[in-house]
């Protein structure tokens, strides 16, 4: 089957996965899920823990078989050996022999991929630079941080220049800085390999919103939605944030009645352009100083759930916990 005949790198059609729980009981981990991942896009698989994300990835990789339905990887069933040649895989918790160095790990897996020795040495250097591990290439993995191990595993997934990259919770267990580095790395991989399809699971909404063109949302094993991010969020600005100083004493309460006030005291949020213009006129009349006006767009979380599930300002990322 040629590329033009099959525009989707991954497709699921009415897929079910049922696990037996004793003699009479069973659990439906995936229930009639259908969607197709377009070639060359970054697509997020989003959902709370237990929603079926890992099960779908394992079925796509051929680790487990669906109870019913059809899965195709570049036009081939996951059980076919040929389908695996298209895929690079990053598990949620990668493990390597700790006595090996990063360079030795990549050489070992490159040999398993049957890369020629001369080409492999160059490829290892390229990947160590890509994942910012050049200086640590000759260090033993025993001394690596969680983020360094994740980046090494991503390099391993890229060794054979696969057409499809499957990442299972790539930012799981990382601190905010480590997650930012992984997001930047995925974005860089997409920039340098625009023909590759990146399909990754996550329960962190902000990761998906920043990286993906489309999002698959699962809930209790069922497909809740499959939409493009830009269509889901829209381009229209729905709110404005104003930073204001110098509102005269005695006028702050009256002026801020229709606005949402931040705990910092100088930041206010107004809904819509009409209210913004009224607020600016009010402030001009009061002689206040408008330091800045910033447009806001409804977040992915607000679109999907209608409210913020984790309002704690000390937590920079929001997780789907429903």
**Domains detected in the chain:** 8-233 (3.40.50.300), 239-296 (3.30.70)
Residue bearing tokens 């930073």: 243
Average confidence score pLDDT of the chain? 82
pLDDT at 229 over 50: yes
Distance (Å, rounded) from C-alpha 322 to C-alpha 316?
A: 18
Nearest to 196 by CA among 161, 237, 241: 161
Query: Which of 95-104, 222-231, 287-296 is predicted most confidently?
Result: 95-104
Say what the pTM is: 0.73
pLDDT at 65 over 60: yes
Query: Which of 32-41, 111-120, 295-304 is predicted most confidently?
Result: 32-41
Cβ atoms of residues 203 and 319 within 8 Å = yes
Nearest to 44 by CA among 281, 216, 167, 275: 216
Query: Which range among 2-16, 100-114, 182-196 shows the weakest confidence by mean pLDDT?
Result: 2-16
- Express as a percent the part of the chain with pLDDT over 70: 81
The string of DSSP letters for 187-256 reads HHHHHH-TTSEEEEEESBHHHHHHH-SEEEEEETTEEEEEEEHHHHH-S---EEEEEEE-PPTTTHHHHT
Treating both helix axes as pointing N-terminal to C-terminal, what angle do 146-158 and 117-130 enclose, rounded to 10 degrees? Answer: 140
The total of other beta-carbon atoms located within 10 Å of residue 269's CB is: 15
pLDDT at 145 over 70: yes
pLDDT at 265: 54
pLDDT at 208 over 50: yes
Residue pLDDT, tens place only, 237-249: 567 777 777 777 6
Treating both helix axes as pointing N-terminal to C-terminal, what angle do 176-192 and 146-158 enclose, rounded to 10 degrees? Answer: 20
The total of other beta-carbon atoms located within 10 Å of residue 220's CB is: 15
- Express as a percent the part of the chain with pLDDT over 90: 48
User: If pLDDT is split at 50, 70 and 90, which confidence band does 88 have?
Assistant: very high
């Amino acid at each position: 089957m040629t590329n033009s005949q099959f525009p989707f790198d991954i497709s699921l059609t009415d897929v079910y996965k049922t696990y037996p729980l004793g003699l009479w009981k069973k659990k439906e981990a995936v229930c009639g899920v259908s969607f197709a991942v377009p070639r060359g896009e970054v697509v997020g698989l989003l959902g709370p823990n237990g929603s079926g994300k890992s099960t779908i990835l394992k079925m796509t990789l051929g680790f487990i078989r669906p109870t019913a339905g059809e899965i195709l990887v570049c036009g081939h069933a996951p059980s076919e050996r040929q389908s695996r040649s298209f895929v690079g895989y990053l598990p949620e918790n990668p493990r390597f022999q700790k006595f090996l160095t990063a360079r030795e790990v990549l050489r070992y897996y490159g040999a398993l991929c049957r890369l020629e020795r001369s080409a492999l040495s160059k490829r290892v250097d390229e990947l160590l630079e890509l994942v910012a591990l050049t200086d640590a290439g000759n260090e033993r993995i025993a001394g690596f941080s969680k983020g360094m191990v994740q980046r090494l595993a991503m390099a391993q997934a890229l060794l054979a220049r696969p057409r499809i990259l499957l990442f299972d919770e790539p930012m799981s267990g990382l601190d905010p800085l480590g997650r930012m580095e992984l997001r930047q790395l995925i974005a860089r991989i997409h920039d340098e390999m625009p023909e590759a399809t990146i399909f990754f699971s996550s329960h962190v909404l902000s990761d998906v919103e920043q990286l993906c063109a489309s999002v698959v949302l699962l809930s209790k094993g069922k497909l809740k939605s499959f939409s493009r991010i830009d269509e889901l969020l829209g381009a229209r600005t729905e709110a404005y944030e104003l930073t204001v100083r110098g509102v005269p004493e005695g006028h702050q309460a009256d002026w801020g009645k229709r606005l949402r006030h931040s705990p910092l005291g100088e930041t206010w949020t107004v809904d819509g352009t009409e209210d913004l213009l009224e607020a600016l006129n009010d402030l001009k009349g009061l002689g206040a100083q408008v330091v800045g006006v910033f447009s806001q767009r409804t977040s992915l979380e607000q679109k999907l759930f209608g409210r913020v599930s984790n309002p704690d300002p000390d937590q920079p990322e929001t997780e789907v916990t429903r």
